[in-house]
Structure formats: structure tokens, C-alpha cells
Structure 1
Amino acid sequence: MDFYIPSDPGELVAFTAAAIAAVLGLLGLIAPRTALRLGGLDVRPDRRDGLATARSSGGFQAGLALSAILLAQDWLYLGLGGAFLLAAFGRLLSLMSDRSTSLIGIGFLVLQLCLGAAPLLHVFGLV
């Protein structure tokens, strides 16, 4: 079985978004402290449960993104895009209701919107 790299521009956009999501997910899985610090978070010295949460969330994200890359099916790209758009919606709710507005939060909102829109643009034939 050969590794599939798309030649269609729309699918290449979705593939690239999945690759970025996989790298970010693997970062959370392998180096959770670094991933948390990128988000402006830290773990309390007396409680390390946050590391488990970062690892499991990173593993889930990496698994979804890698399955979209390896299987290259529109349904997986649809799931990946929908998941990132819902994550962006949650971040937007937090920015508005929790008053957690910061440059990091806005930057991650833009990243999640882009990672969510890219696969969906391909799935719906807009790219």
C-alpha cells in the first residue's frame, strides 16, 4: 500500500490541515507541558492531572487527523473539519463569556477556524 499525497488542490488543502492538526496533536501527546505552555497554561505542582488531560486530548486529535491523512476519505475530512469548527465555537464562547480574551486565545481561534474550514471547503467542493 502506497502513501497517498493528493494532487487535487482542494484535497491538498484538506490534507495540509490534517497534517498540521496531527503535528499539534502529537505535540500534546508527546510533550504535554510544551503544548500547555503554548496555550498559556501550566500544571500545578501538587496536581499533575492536567498532563493526562493534555496527553489524551492530543492523542485524540492526532488519531483523528492521522486517520484522515492515511485513509483520505471525505467523511473523515468532514469529521475533522466539524470537530475543529466546534472547538473554535467553544473557544469563541469562552472568549465572550469567560472574558478570557488574549492574543493567544484569538490566535488559536483563528487557527481552529482555518483548520476547520480547510477540510470542509474540500468536502463541499468549494476548493
Structure 2
Amino acid sequence: MQITFPQTTTDLLPFLVACFSVGYGLYALFAPRLFLRMAGLDTLNTRRAGLSEIRATLAGFPLGMGLATFFFYDQPFMQMALGAGWLLTAFGRLVSILSDDASTLGNWLWLLVNLALAAGCLAPVLGLI
């Protein structure tokens, strides 16, 4: 299987979002405590089950979808799947900002990042670029 790199902006955007997703997933997988600290959370030292949740859920899904999209970035279905995942991540963050009194600068910045990632995958599929 030969890996080809994107030649156009239409292909480059989903490819870059896939690269970010892989990096995000690897960071959560191999440094879950730092990942939690970045989010302002902590685990109990006596109970390590929280770390497995970070590694499984917050690392596994972005890492798996990111890798699949990395290799098949020119496939519309892969772009839609990764874009929908980031769009719903942004929606969940917005719901938290509005209903959990979590309106912080960090949350608003991450909301913009999540929306940009979703747009990077969905814009080529929807014909916006």
C-alpha cells in the first residue's frame, strides 16, 4: 500500500485534522495525568480506574478515527465521520458551557478549536471549498 500525501487544499484540510486527532489521541494515551491536568481535573491516587477511562475513551476514539482518516483522507465517508465526531465534541462543549456554568476562556478556545477541526473535515465533503 503506497501512502500518498495531499496535493490540494481540499485534501490537505482533512489530512491535517487527522494528524491533530492522532496527536491528541497519543497525548491522552501516553500522558493521561498531564491530559487531565490540562483540563483542570485530577484522579484519586487510590483509584486508577479514571486513567483507564482517559486512555480508552478520550484517547482511543480520536486516535483510531485519526489514523483511519490519515490513511484514507481522500475518502468522503472518512472525512464525514471524523468531522462529525469533532462537531459533536464542540456541541458537547457548548452544552457544558451553557448548562454547567463552565464559561471559561479555555472552554471557549477549545470550542473554537473543535469547530475548526470539524470544519476542516466537513467543508470538503459539503463542497464548501
Q: How would you bin the TM-score normalised by the shorter chain?
A: over 0.9
- TM-score (normalizing by structure 2): 0.92
Alignment partner, residue 49 of structure 1? 49
User: 1:103 & 1:46 partners in 2: Cα distance?
Assistant: 32
Alignment partner, residue 83 of structure 2? 81
What is the 5 A alignment of 1:4-83? 4-57=4-57, 58-72=59-73, 73-83=75-85
Alignment partner, residue 112 of structure 2? 110
Alignment partner, residue 101 of structure 1? 103
Measured after TM superposition, the shift of residue 122 of structure 1 is 1.2
User: 1:105 & 1:48 partners in 2: Cα distance?
Assistant: 26
Query: Partner amino acid for 1:24?
Result: Y
The count of corresponding residues between Structure 1 and Structure 2 is 127
Measured after TM superposition, the shift of residue 47 of structure 1 is 2.1
Query: Partner amino acid for 1:20?
Result: F
Percent identical residues: 37
Alignment partner, residue 94 of structure 2? 92
Of the two structures, which has the highest relative contact order with CA contacts closer than 8 Å and spacing of 6 or more? Answer: 1
- TM-score (normalizing by structure 1): 0.94
User: 2:6 & 2:64 partners in 1: Cα distance?
Assistant: 20
Whether contact under 8 Å (1:10, 1:125) holds in the other structure is no
Whether contact under 8 Å (1:18, 1:115) holds in the other structure is no
Runs of 4+, deviation exceeding 3 Å: none
Measured after TM superposition, the shift of residue 90 of structure 1 is 0.6
Structure 1 unaligned segments of length 5 or more: list them: none
Alignment partner, residue 2 of structure 1? 2
User: 2:106 & 2:63 partners in 1: Cα distance?
Assistant: 21
User: 1:10 & 1:95 partners in 2: Cα distance?
Assistant: 32
User: 2:18 & 2:70 partners in 1: Cα distance?
Assistant: 6
Structure 2 unaligned segments of length 5 or more: list them: none
CA RMSD of aligned residues (A): 1.1
Query: Partner amino acid for 2:62?
Result: Q
